């Protein structure tokens, strides 16, 4: 289903003209080539093609742009790892497999402004000497997929893609590849495996994708939002970009907010703003005047913040670390007093149990165990020994697997237990869910 | 490349180790005898890194690393004995076991299962599992020569990698995801390669068991002997398991030798062993007169044959099967030459020996006998003249021979024997020394029982020019005798001589002392299990064999 334009609200904090991604997001035909060109689209190409590729990489390094997929790794550094003299083709893969629960920011770009992604891919591919790029889009994004496909065709027709783009000598093919509905294919190397036609198993590192990735060739995998930021940086300069944000968190960022708020949606804000202000001003505050109980700040795998932490936390990488959590993919989930946290955790645990690829033992077996134990607590059949057992198992899943899915499953469990011990205790003491929301079957 | 270091110094658990460049921490530790528990790692397969058992702590790295995929680097300080590592190994083991059945008493892998072994070594925790919430998966799935039990499978993917990397037949894959993952053949079709037995060997648990062996014998009743396979010219190194109480052969498994067979062997070599104890095994000397079988004694045979040969030794043809050990061949050459015999040939399919490079691309050579290279080496170094089959057939047809002795035939295929037997005129009396009666032998006057390769010791020289040890795993079955005993008896003309067990050692020493095998010169006991390269005459050059 297409997103209702009205739900994409302008942030009260960042005026439209200062936005990087959403400056023209309300424009009716922005997703078409003419619509995009009418607001100055593809204008960064001329400047980019006039620059030596290394200078583009330097500029991106200077901008301190960090990967927006969740890990927050500096993009320029990532590009810098690619060996340009290996004699092998270099691939740029766009990760559009947005599947972290609570995250729907890339979807807005894909559906509303697909040409900005293509422009980002062209500039980035020029920087990393790539001539073939794939957009790996989440299988469930059927509508977005159609729009992107159309946009790619338009770009080819207009000469923005293909041979000798705008007479620059740079060739680039872009192919849209649809996933088949697996969370793990959003993991960098799982995505590569899937694109290679294999089962979406994450790959052992080393070797890292920059050295040996897609088809054994040097590969850069970047998130949609990351790539979309590149043309702006090239056009306006790294210095202009670093005017936004603070500390190690520069630029603007898209946050998708959902849960118990009045106006859920995707908002572009400057990094480092107050989380509380973001919830109140962008998302209209709590629905029905309910009390805020917790916030999951960066997608379902990030540990939660308590209400008092929400009051002081800021939307930047450093602030989140201070509270033992992460900015992640920017999927903010707001939880109210009317929701049982154990039930919420049960949903998350079920998700990770279902999505574990099953390669590594701790994740394959651990995710299932976490899910069963959480259900047991929810049913009121658990003892405090079970709670300890749950913690022990979650800890043994941290940092012990090929990819981070295992950590992603364990982190919220440990986070909820650490920050909301009273909710767990209540389930043990009352031998059931105080809010009568929990209670799954044993299997 | 010249600035690359030739050696890497690191320490594992305080032990200083000098590793070769390119070695992983796991391999480096192994060279120093430090064992790191593992399920998915296999020396002859690619690294999967999925079992997560081989965790180690590396100084200055806050995160534990898997030792199988971590390169050893200069100055690295590795520990596998810290509490942090022990805790994680125990946790990972516990996770391996949470959905695993706890019915070891009825599992055929019991006694050689790595889950059992590691639980004793690294586990011994109190179970936190409620058995009623365990996952259940299909059991006893027939995938051809192997039975698969998904519930016991720990998804280490060794078998998947084996069919992808060694046989390149890609029959196996992991289907579904997460803890619903199951191992399956594609399209549910049976395995279709000739190396399937290795799957049961490399399965660290009871998930893949061979139909030929499962539920036949508890492994703790078996006695294991290191030997070589004799079913082709590769000479794969094997371990032979026999129950010493019943002297029954139960299992032949590959023994790792990176220069010969890595960790593998073919199904033919592994399972084509029924002839050792089946109903067609020759149990005593027999005389065949006009289609009638008369049981005879060795005494009679020796007496008759001694006089036959002594009366006209030049009219005797001796065929030495290339199943014989080099020592048996040497003993026969010496013994029969001493009796005045001048015509020798070999019993082998000559077409398969012409190109000894010919093999299936993995291990199996077209020459299905183990010691053609030994025969050639012996003939060359002792300067014995011998006949190729073309000449043999000419002479046979010209009725130049009164007696044709075929010594040391084994099994049911006996490559090369058929054509010679068919071309032998009825005027020539045939004596066959074989393990097994086959239809082809109707023409023979004498059938004398041969000891199988599992019942004798000696050396075999494989197509790669390696002299390797064949070691007896059981005594001569029934009244069978090896060729040492046969030539000895014929020489003496009676059966009074004690069975010359151990004669091979005398001959081996002689061959070694007389430098018949250049570079051999060693005593039997000190000969390495991996074989000795003796630079064989006419050895197959440039043979390439499966490498990882």
Q: Is the domain of B290 the same as that of B209?
A: no
CA separation, residue A380 to residues A227, A306, A387, B320, B530 (Å): 47, 24, 12, 80, 62
Cα–Cα nearest to A133, from A146, A114, A120: A120
Query: CA A249, A250, A251, A253: dihedral to nearest 10 degrees?
Result: -10
CB B347 within 8 A of CB B322: yes
ipTM over cut 0.85? yes
Per-residue confidence (pLDDT) for residue B3, from 0 to 100:
61
Q: What is the pLDDT of residues A318-347, one digit of tens each?
A: 999 999 999 999 999 999 999 999 999 999
Peptide bond into A206 cis (omega under 30): yes
**Within an 8 Å CB–CB cutoff, is residue A194 touching chain B?**
no
Taking the C-alpha atoms of residue A390 and residue A371, their distance in angstroms, rounded to an integer, is: 10
Residue B234 lies in a domain: yes
Per-residue confidence (pLDDT) for residue B354, from 0 to 100:
79
Look at strands B15-19 and B8-12 and give their pairing. Answer: antiparallel
Q: Is the domain of B388 the same as that of B409?
A: yes
Please report residues of B whose CB lies closer than 8 A to that of A389.
Answer: 128
Q: What is the pLDDT of residues B437-457, one digit of tens each?
A: 999 999 999 999 999 999 999
Which residue has tokens 């729009």?
A147
β-bridge partners, B460: B468
Cα angle A285, A287, A290 (rounded to 5 degrees) comes to: 95
Question: Which of B72, B96, B156, B177 is the best mutation test for A, with the most CBs of A within 10 A?
Answer: B177
Residue B275 lies in a domain: no
A204 to B69: CB separation less than 8 angstroms, yes or no: yes
pTM here is 0.93
**3 state DSSP class of B292:** strand
What's B448's domain CATH number?
Answer: 3.40.50.740
- State the nearest Cα–Cα gap between A400 and chain B, in angstroms: 7
Per-residue confidence (pLDDT) for residue A9, from 0 to 100:
42
Provide the sign of the torsion angle of the four alpha carbons A346, A351, A354, A357, taken in this order: negative
Cα angle A283, A286, A288 (rounded to 5 degrees) comes to: 125
| Last residue in a domain, options B198, B231, B266 | B266
Residue B380 lies in a domain: yes
Q: Is the domain of B464 the same as that of B432?
A: yes
Per-residue confidence (pLDDT) for residue A107, from 0 to 100:
97
Helix then strand count (H, E) for chain A reads 18, 11
Q: Would you say residue A204 has pLDDT above 70?
A: yes
Residue B194 lies in a domain: yes
CB pairs under 8 A between A and B: 90
Residue B280 lies in a domain: no
Q: How confident is the model at residue B498 (pLDDT cuts 50, 70, 90)?
A: low
Looking at residue B120, the DSSP 8-state letter turns out to be I
Number of domains into which chain B is organized:
3
Q: How confident is the model at residue B128 (pLDDT cuts 50, 70, 90)?
A: confident
CB B318 within 8 A of CB B336: yes
In chain B, the residue whose alpha carbon lies closest to the alpha carbon of A207 is B69
CA separation, residue B20 to residues B6, B26, B35, B321 (Å): 7, 12, 18, 44
Residue B30 lies in a domain: yes
> Where does residue A374 fall: left (phi above 0), alpha (psi -120 to 50 degrees), or beta otherwise?
alpha
- φ and ψ at residue B429, rounded to 5 degrees: -85, 130
A358 to B181: CB separation less than 8 angstroms, yes or no: yes
The beta-carbon neighbor of B179 closest among A358, A396, A400 is A358
- Per the structure, the complete domain to which residue B165 belongs is given by 104-113+128-266
Q: Is the domain of B443 the same as that of B344?
A: yes
Q: Is the domain of B258 the same as that of B361?
A: no
- State the nearest Cα–Cα gap between A200 and chain B, in angstroms: 10
Residue B361 lies in a domain: yes
B178 to A353: CB separation less than 8 angstroms, yes or no: yes
Q: How confident is the model at residue A442 (pLDDT cuts 50, 70, 90)?
A: low
Q: What is the pLDDT of residues B355-395, one digit of tens each?
A: 777 889 999 999 999 999 999 989 988 889 999 999 999 99
Give CB contacts under 8 A, 24+ apart, made by B28-36: B28/B72, B29/B67, B29/B78, B29/B80, B34/B80, B36/B67, B36/B80
**Within an 8 Å CB–CB cutoff, is residue B160 touching chain A?**
no
| Pick from A80-84, B74-78, B116-120, B352-356: least confident | B352-356
Provide the sign of the torsion angle of the four alpha carbons B272, B278, B283, B289, taken in this order: negative
Between these two residues, B82 and A443, which has the higher pLDDT value?
A: B82
What's B152's domain CATH number?
Answer: 3.30.70.20
CB B396 within 8 A of CB B424: yes
Q: Would you say residue A80 has pLDDT above 60?
A: yes
SS (H, E, C) A238-283: HHHHHCCEECCEECEEEEEEEECECCCEEEEEECCCEHHHHHHHHC
Cα–Cα nearest to B372, from B415, B431, B413, B406: B415
The beta-carbon neighbor of A362 closest among B63, B95, B135 is B95
What's B67's domain CATH number?
Answer: 3.10.20.740
Per-residue confidence (pLDDT) for residue B517, from 0 to 100:
66
Burial of B248 (0-12, 13-18, 19+ CB in 10 A): middle
Helix then strand count (H, E) for chain B reads 14, 23
For A208, the token pair is 């890292």
The residue-averaged pLDDT of A124-132 equals 98
**3 state DSSP class of B504:** helix
Residue B279 lies in a domain: no
**Within an 8 Å CB–CB cutoff, is residue A437 touching chain B?**
no
Q: What is the pLDDT of residues B523-547, one digit of tens each?
A: 788 888 788 877 654 433 333 333 3
Q: Is the domain of B201 the same as that of B312?
A: no
Whole-number average pLDDT of chain A: 94
The beta-carbon neighbor of A365 closest among B47, B53, B179 is B179
Per-residue confidence (pLDDT) for residue B526, from 0 to 100:
80
Per-residue confidence (pLDDT) for residue B529, from 0 to 100:
78
CA separation, residue A331 to residues A60, A141, A184, A301, A411 (Å): 24, 17, 17, 10, 16
Q: Is the domain of B219 the same as that of B360?
A: no
Q: Would you say residue A6 has pLDDT above 50?
A: no
**Within an 8 Å CB–CB cutoff, is residue B155 touching chain A?**
yes
Question: Which of B95, B99, B130, B160 is the best mutation test for A, with the most CBs of A within 10 A?
Answer: B95
Q: Is the domain of B253 the same as that of B317?
A: no
CB B113 within 8 A of CB B180: no
Percent composition of chain A: helix, strand, coil (DSSP 3-state, to 5): 45, 15, 40
Q: Is the domain of B410 the same as that of B464?
A: yes
Taking the C-alpha atoms of residue B531 and residue B467, their distance in angstroms, rounded to an integer, is: 5
Q: Would you say residue B436 has pLDDT above 90?
A: yes
B178 to A372: CB separation less than 8 angstroms, yes or no: no
CB A194 within 8 A of CB A179: yes
CA separation, residue A374 to residues A209, A270, B497 (Å): 36, 37, 80
Q: Is the domain of B85 the same as that of B187?
A: no
Alpha carbon B60 to its chain's center: 46
The beta-carbon neighbor of A357 closest among B49, B55, B177 is B177
Q: Would you say residue B548 has pLDDT above 90?
A: no
**3 state DSSP class of B420:** helix
Q: Is the domain of B517 the same as that of B400?
A: yes
The residue-averaged pLDDT of A162-181 equals 97
Question: Residues of A numbered 271-330 whose beta carbons fall under 8 angstroms of chain B's beta carbons: which are they?
Answer: none
**Within an 8 Å CB–CB cutoff, is residue B287 touching chain A?**
no
CA separation, residue A67 to residues A41, A146, A274, A341 (Å): 23, 25, 21, 30
Please report residues of A whose CB lies closer than 8 A to that of B160.
Answer: none
The residue-averaged pLDDT of A23-51 equals 96
Q: Is the domain of B207 the same as that of B225?
A: yes
């Amino acid at each position: 289903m297409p997103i209702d334009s009205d739900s994409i609200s302008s942030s009260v904090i960042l005026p439209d003209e200062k936005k990087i991604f959403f400056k023209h997001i309300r424009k009716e035909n922005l997703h078409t080539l003419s619509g995009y060109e009418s607001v100055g689209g593809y204008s960064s190409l001329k400047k980019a093609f006039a620059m030596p590729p290394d200078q583009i990489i330097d500029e991106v390094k200077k901008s301190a742009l960090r990967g927006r997929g969740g890990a927050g790794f500096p993009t320029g550094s990532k590009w810098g790892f690619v060996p340009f003299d290996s004699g092998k083709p270099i691939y740029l893969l766009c990760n559009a497999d947005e599947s972290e629960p609570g995250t729907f920011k890339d979807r807005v770009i894909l559906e509303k402004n697909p040409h900005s992604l293509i422009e980002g891919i062209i500039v980035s591919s020029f920087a990393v000497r790539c001539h073939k790029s794939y957009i790996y889009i989440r299988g469930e994004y059927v509508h977005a997929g159609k729009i992107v496909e159309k946009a790619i065709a338009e770009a080819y027709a207009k000469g923005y893609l293909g041979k000798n783009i705008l007479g620059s000598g740079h060739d680039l093919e872009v192919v849209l590849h649809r996933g088949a509905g697996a969370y793990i294919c959003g993991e960098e190397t799982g995505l590569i495996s899937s694109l290679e036609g294999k089962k979406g198993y994450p790959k052992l590192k080393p070797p890292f994708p920059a050295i040996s990735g897609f088809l054994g060739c040097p590969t850069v995998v970047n998130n949609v939002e990351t790539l979309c930021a590149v043309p702006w940086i090239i056009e306006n300069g790294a210095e202009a970009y670093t005017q936004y944000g603070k500390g190690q968190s520069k630029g603007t960022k898209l946050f998708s907010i959902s849960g118990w708020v009045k106006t859920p949606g995707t908002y572009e804000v400057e990094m480092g703003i107050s989380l509380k202000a973001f919830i109140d001003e962008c998302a209209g505050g709590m629905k029905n005047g309910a009390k805020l109980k917790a916030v999951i700040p960066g997608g379902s795998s990030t540990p939660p913040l308590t209400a008092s932490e929400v009051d002081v936390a800021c939307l930047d990488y450093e602030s989140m670390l201070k509270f033992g959590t992460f900015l992640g993919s920017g999927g903010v989930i707001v939880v109210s007093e009317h929701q049982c946290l154990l039930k919420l955790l049960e949903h998350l645990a079920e998700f990770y149990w279902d999505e574990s690829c099953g390669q590594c033992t701790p994740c394959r077996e651990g995710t299932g165990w976490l899910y069963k134990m959480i259900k047991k607590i929810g049913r009121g059949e658990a003892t405090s020994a079970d709670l300890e057992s749950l913690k022990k198992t979650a800890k043994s899943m941290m940092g012990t697997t090929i990819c981070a899915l295992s950590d992603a499953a364990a982190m919220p469990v440990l986070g909820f237990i650490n920050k909301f011990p009273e909710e767990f205790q209540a389930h043990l003491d009352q031998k059931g869910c105080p809010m009568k929301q929990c209670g799954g079957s044993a299997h | 490349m010249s600035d690359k270091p030739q050696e890497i110094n690191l320490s594992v658990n305080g032990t200083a180790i000098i590793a070769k460049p390119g070695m992983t921490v796991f391999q480096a530790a192994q060279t120093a005898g430090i064992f790191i528990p593992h399920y998915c790692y296999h020396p002859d397969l690619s690294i999967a890194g999925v079992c997560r058992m081989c965790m180690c702590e590396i100084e200055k790295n806050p995160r534990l690393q898997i030792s199988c995929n971590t390169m050893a680097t200069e100055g690295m300080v590795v520990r596998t004995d810290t509490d942090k590592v022990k805790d994680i190994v125990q946790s990972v083991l516990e996770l391996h076991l949470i959905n695993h059945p706890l019915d070891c008493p009825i599992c055929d892998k019991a006694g050689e299962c790595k889950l059992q072994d590691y639980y004793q070594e690294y586990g011994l925790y109190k179970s936190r599992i409620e058995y009623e919430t365990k996952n259940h998966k299909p059991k006893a799935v027939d995938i051809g020569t192997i039975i698969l039990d998904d519930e016991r499978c720990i998804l280490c993917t060794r078998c998947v990698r084996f069919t992808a990397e060694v046989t390149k037949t890609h029959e196996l894959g992991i289907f579904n995801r997460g803890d619903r993952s199951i191992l399956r053949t594609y399209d549910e079709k049976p395995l279709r390669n000739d190396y399937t037995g290795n799957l049961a060997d490399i399965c660290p648990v009871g998930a893949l068991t061979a139909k030929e062996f499962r539920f036949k014998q508890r492994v703790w009743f078996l006695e294991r002997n290191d030997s070589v396979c004799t079913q082709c010219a590769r000479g794969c190194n094997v371990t032979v398991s026999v129950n010493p109480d019943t002297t029954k052969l139960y299992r032949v498994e590959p023994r790792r030798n990176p220069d010969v067979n890595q960790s593998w062997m073919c199904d033919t070599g592994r399972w084509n062993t029924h002839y050792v104890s089946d109903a067609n095994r020759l149990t005593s000397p027999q005389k065949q007169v006009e289609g009638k079988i008369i049981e005879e004694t060795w005494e009679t045979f020796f007496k008759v044959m001694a006089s036959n040969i002594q009366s006209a030794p030049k009219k005797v043809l001796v065929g030495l099967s290339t199943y014989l050990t080099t020592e048996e061949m040497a003993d026969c050459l010496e013994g029969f030459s001493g009796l005045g015999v001048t015509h020798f040939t070999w019993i082998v399919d000559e077409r398969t020996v012409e190109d000894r490079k010919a093999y299936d691309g993995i291990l199996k050579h077209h020459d299905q006998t183990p010691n053609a290279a030994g025969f050639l080496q012996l003939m060359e170094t002792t300067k014995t003249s011998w006949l190729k089959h073309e000449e043999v057939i000419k002479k046979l047809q010209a009725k130049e021979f009164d007696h044709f002795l075929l010594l040391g035939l084994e099994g049911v295929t006996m490559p090369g024997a058929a054509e010679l037997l068919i071309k032998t005129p009825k005027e020539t009396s045939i004596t066959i020394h074989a393990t097994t009666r086959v239809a082809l032998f109707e023409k023979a006057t004498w059938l004398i029982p041969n000891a199988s390769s599992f019942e004798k010791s000696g050396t075999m020289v494989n197509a790669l020019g390696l002299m390797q040890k064949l070691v007896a795993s059981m005594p001569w079955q029934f009244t069978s005798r090896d060729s040492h005993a046969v030539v000895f008896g014929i020489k003496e003309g009676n059966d009074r001589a004690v069975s010359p067990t151990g004669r091979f050692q005398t001959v081996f020493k002689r061959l070694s002392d007389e430098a018949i095998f250049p570079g051999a010169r060693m005593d039997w006991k000190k000969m390495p299990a991996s074989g000795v390269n003796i630079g064989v005459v006419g050895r197959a050059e440039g043979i390439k064999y499966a490498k990882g």
